Amino acid sequence: MEVTGVERQKKISQPKVNHKKVRAKIWADRYMYLMILPVVIYFVLFHYWPMLWLRIAFYDYKILKGFEGSKFVGLKHFKSFIQSPDFLNIIWNTLYLNLLSLAFAFPAPIVFALLLNELAAGKFKKTVQTISYLPHFLSMVVVVSMIKNILSPSIGIVNSIMKNMGMEEIYFLGEAKYFRPIMIISGIWQEMGWGSIIYLSALSGIDPELYEAAVMDGAGRFKQVIYITLPGIAQTIIVMLILRIGTLLSVGFEKVYLMQNAYNLSVSEVISTYVYKRGMINNNYSLATAVGMFNGIISLILVSLANSLSRKYTEISLI
Amino acid sequence: MTKMKAKRIIGLILAIMMLATIFVGCKGKDADTEIDQKPDVSDAKDKEDDNKEKEDDDDGEEGDTLFKETFKFSYMGSIWGVHPDGGTPIFDELMKRTNTEIDFRWYPTDQYQDKVTVTLASDDIPDMIANASIPTLIDEGAIIPLDDLLEEHGPNILANLQEDDYPYMRAAIDGNIYAVPFILDFPPAYAMQIRKDWLDNVGISEVPETWDEWKAAWKAFKEQDANGDGDPTNEIPYAGDIYGLLPAFGINVSNKIGFTTDADGNYTIMYELPEFRTFLEEMRELYKEGILDKEFATRGTYIDNPELEKVCDANLAGSVMTWAANTRRTTEVLQELDENAAMIGVKPVQGPDGKQGIPSRVRVTPTAAITVAGEDKAEDIIKFFNYVFSEEGIKLMSYGIEGEHHEMVDSEPMLKSPYVDSFENAREAGLNFTPFPHLFAEEAFLQIMMGGQKYDELPDAMKYFHDALYVGEDYFFTPTPTLNTEAYTEKQGEILPKIESLLAQCVTGEISIDDFYAEYEKLKPVGLQDILDQGAEAWSKISK
């Protein structure tokens, strides 16, 4: 077989794999591999292996009958979801809620981390940090129950204060227009502290000499943040942003479902609640899987898109 | 370069592992599929053959016990609250009397349905599954119909079923009976309730009965600072959801879904009834006047009862239609601050057309089904439960063991303390054990409810509770069951929340009554009509 110039060039440029060296290297790093092994096993068991069962989406799957006993229905469940009269509304509700979250909830931990970073290390800083983490550990049922009680027009403290100030009471959970703000604000309260950890760790990696040099050059606190701190954590922010974009079609099911009521259904029906009602309550796993698969494919496209845009304009990317 | 190599090696390992897992998956799949497709029936059969604890040839009774040789079966169910997950003396006695060994597998109620699903997918399916969704189990082909078995081997079970029970017992999908029931023969459950002290505070001496009298009382509650806290705006004259007022309009439902029967006895949904328009008109008026609870769509007996209890306890609710026990609880809570506080049970509200009604407790709950894995033991399982539903079995399950749980007084069993003191105590001992099919006697239920005391000995709050149970007795109606037809199963998750949402919008005045009906009609072509048609068809079969 004739070898072209280009192929020859490729062969020359490719380093020869020395298997002995590789084996030696692996053996030398065996503890590192051992450390990563549980995570690998976890991902294989709980993320990759279950993918084999994604074909449930193409069957009218019955647990006891298995794949061979269940009827193959092709794209029936995908069609059923897409042709549903609520499809566009559900997609819009999910997307809109996530875009709002991206606009307000995503920057909140960054701002919080920057503010914390400006505080001198001490008891106050640690106390603020600890308190800010606490809501993350509350059960969603407890959080929603608190929201309902706080905002109730009859027994809630917010309306009580409003009434004492001469304002008219508002049934916040009874008006669809308040649903999204409540979701976003409570989401920020719950996750801002926890979400700031990753940025705080990125901030700790910035070389203190840069700040010293900036002070020498006459930069104030604000300029230090703009020209040193933010660029220092830019990579982390972008990576987090790309990952966040990948979840634009996912909304935490529990909170939306618990907050959903007859008044706000038009804006609170999102993909996950729809799947729960049509798929899980009735044990229609095929439909639930089909919607999940649809969701996954769209999310993969979004992540890939965000990743390539980021690589093009900022040279930072996930892969 | 070294980094590059390391990356490649990691990638290689990952790839190999994933590949290996896939192959493992494929290999396992063949074996697993076999198990998936055929639940462990053969295995169960083998086990059965091993034990072959067969009863005698005729009626299964031999000597002092039901079975000659020990009959074993497994039972999966969910427990809540203080229900014991270990054995109880009552179950021990039951198994001793019948020469039975039951392998109980109890799980908490929380996420129990998921547990059932996982169990079905496993190769260890129990002989009986309790407290699971019967339509789902039928759809999965996991359980067997019991009609013939009950006819042949369960005469005591059938003898305890009344005509009104059958629509609850039969599956809408094919009209068969799939589960052995838990029966609580105690119809009182709900009561219309009003704050007697509020009536006194606003100068109304008579308990309201007619629609106009109720409206006058509600208006007075609203306008006259009935709770006396100095804030004349925080009273909720009628607290909770609006579904509790439907029977006053001749619409006999006891949930927010609203399936009922029309004047000709046909299965339908409340929105189809002409009375519903009158109901809507009145509710809109009440809401406008501030009489209805502003949060009616998010709390109430049929929506979120704990939230309703909170407003009762906060001294904000003037009247409610809810569980009769609420009279006792609310009164006890409020009397800690005001000894005059009294939430009392009254006759159900009489609507504008003079109609009244209060739902009675549904007598039967289809509880435990026999799985395909237990099919070979089905005959003996039914014989076992036939004993549970015999006079002896009912006495054991309702009153426990003589000397330990009850004593005979004037030839009548009387539960002893501490079992009679509260339902918690009783349940802890295995009495009124709802996850297991049996008939719990009305008298035993009443004894526990009264804490073993006579009416005259009861404190006021307990008397209110007792009275509330029976005050609406003349107006009890048996609610129509919601039929889980194929269309209902498939479409209810989409359709019913929308109707609920439309109803809330209509009552609050966001949309007109005509708009409500126009939007309601639009739901028919997308599934509602199928739900109605299939429901009517199923009803005509199962209500015979």
pLDDT tens string, chain A, 319 residues long: the values are 444 555 555 555 555 668 888 899 999 999 999 999 999 999 999 989 988 889 999 999 888 888 888 899 999 999 988 988 889 999 999 999 999 999 999 999 999 999 998 887 788 888 999 999 999 999 999 999 999 999 999 889 999 999 889 888 899 998 999 999 999 999 999 999 999 999 999 999 999 899 999 999 998 988 999 999 999 999 899 989 988 888 888 777 889 999 999 899 999 999 988 888 877 776 788 988 999 888 888 888 988 888 888 888 777 777 7
Residues B287 and B348 reside in one and the same domain:
yes
Residues B330 and B346 reside in one and the same domain:
yes
Residues B91 and B169 reside in one and the same domain:
yes
Nearest to A278 among B136, B295, B494 (CB): B494
Four-point Cα dihedral B514, B520, B524, B530, nearest 10? -130
Nearest to B14 among A15, A21, A40 (CB): A40
Residues B350 and B375 reside in one and the same domain:
no
- Cβ contacts (< 8 Å) between A49 and chain B: which residues? 21-22, 25
Smallest CA–CA distance, residue A278 to chain B, in Å, is: 6
- Cβ contacts (< 8 Å) between B501 and chain A: which residues? 262-263, 265-266
pLDDT tens digits, one per residue of A9-35: 555 555 566 888 889 999 999 999 999
- Cβ contacts (< 8 Å) between B9 and chain A: which residues? 22, 25-26
Confidence of residue B331 (pLDDT cuts 50, 70, 90): very high
Question: CA-to-CA distance for B539 and B154, rounded, in angstroms?
Answer: 25
What CATH number did the domain enclosing B279 receive?
A: 3.40.190.10
pLDDT at B224: 93
Question: CA-to-CA distance for B210 and B213, rounded, in angstroms?
Answer: 5
Nearest to B493 among A45, A155, A277 (CB): A277
Residues B175 and B107 reside in one and the same domain:
yes
Please report where in the chains the tokens 């509600």 appear, as a residue.
B218
Give the residue numbers spanning the domain of B233: 190-359+478-482
- Cβ contacts (< 8 Å) between B505 and chain A: which residues? 263
Confidence of residue B520 (pLDDT cuts 50, 70, 90): very high
Per-residue b or e along B360-392, where b marks 16 or more CB atoms closer than 10 Å to that residue's CB:
bbbbbbbbbbbbbbbbbbbbbbbbbbbbbbbee
Number of domains in chain B: 2
Identify the residue among B23, B24, B37 best suited for mutation to test binding to A, counting A beta carbons within 10 A and taking the highest: B37
Please report where in the chains the tokens 């009264």 appear, as a residue.
B450
The answer as to whether B14 is a domain residue is no
pLDDT at B82: 74
Lowest mean pLDDT among A211-220, A281-290, B74-83, B242-251: A281-290
Residue of B nearest to A281 (CA): B493
Would you call A81 exposed, middle or buried from its count of C-beta atoms within 10 A (0-12, 13-18, 19+)?
A: buried
pLDDT at A317: 74
Containing B256, the helix (H) or strand (E) segment is none
Residues B315 and B428 reside in one and the same domain:
no
The answer as to whether B155 is a domain residue is yes
Residue of B nearest to A267 (CA): B501
The answer as to whether B489 is a domain residue is no
pLDDT at B37: 34
ipTM score over 0.85, yes or no: no
pLDDT tens digits, one per residue of B436-491: 999 999 999 999 988 888 889 899 999 999 999 999 999 999 999 999 998 998 88
Lowest mean pLDDT among A17-26, B59-68, B302-311: B59-68
Residue of A nearest to B523 (CA): A85
The answer as to whether B514 is a domain residue is no
pLDDT at B47: 40
Per-residue b or e along A61-79, where b marks 16 or more CB atoms closer than 10 Å to that residue's CB:
bbbbbbbebbeebeebbbe
B62 has a pLDDT exceeding 50: no
pLDDT tens digits, one per residue of B111-120: 888 899 889 8
Four-point Cα dihedral B88, B92, B94, B97, nearest 10? -160
The answer as to whether B505 is a domain residue is no
Four-point Cα dihedral B48, B53, B59, B65, nearest 10? -140
User: Which residues does B15 contact at the CB level (< 8 Å), separation at least 6?
Assistant: none
Residue/partner pairs of A229-232 with CB below 8 Å, 24 or more apart: A229/A114, A229/A117, A229/A203, A230/A114, A232/A202, A232/A203, A232/A205, A232/A206
Residues B217 and B351 reside in one and the same domain:
yes
- Cβ contacts (< 8 Å) between B133 and chain A: which residues? 283
Residues B274 and B396 reside in one and the same domain:
no
Nearest to B141 among A33, A64, A262 (CB): A64
pLDDT at B239: 97
Do A52 and B236 make contact, defined as CB atoms within 8 angstroms? no
Smallest CA–CA distance, residue B507 to chain A, in Å, is: 11
The answer as to whether B205 is a domain residue is yes
pLDDT at B24: 46
Residue of A nearest to B125 (CA): A64
Lowest mean pLDDT among B67-71, B389-393, B529-533: B67-71
Residues B211 and B197 reside in one and the same domain:
yes
Confidence of residue B307 (pLDDT cuts 50, 70, 90): very high
Q: Which CATH class name applies to A82-314?
A: mainly alpha
pLDDT at A2: 47
How many Cβ pairs within 8 Å bridge chains A and B? 129
Nearest to B33 among A66, A153, A284 (CB): A66
Confidence of residue B45 (pLDDT cuts 50, 70, 90): very low
Do A25 and B5 make contact, defined as CB atoms within 8 angstroms? yes
Reduced to 3 states (helix: H, G, I; strand: E, B; else coil), residue B210 is coil
- Cβ contacts (< 8 Å) between B10 and chain A: which residues? 33, 36
- Give me the mean pLDDT over the B80-106 stretch: 89
Q: Does B15 touch chain A (CB under 8 A)?
A: no
Question: CA-to-CA distance for B241 and B296, rounded, in angstroms?
Answer: 4
Nearest to B21 among A44, A67, A171 (CB): A44
Residues B352 and B304 reside in one and the same domain:
yes
The answer as to whether B252 is a domain residue is yes
Residues B60 and B172 reside in one and the same domain:
yes
Do A262 and B497 make contact, defined as CB atoms within 8 angstroms? yes
- Cβ contacts (< 8 Å) between A282 and chain B: which residues? 136, 489-490, 493
Residues B152 and B215 reside in one and the same domain:
no
Residue ranges matching CATH 1.10.3720.10 in chain A: 82-314
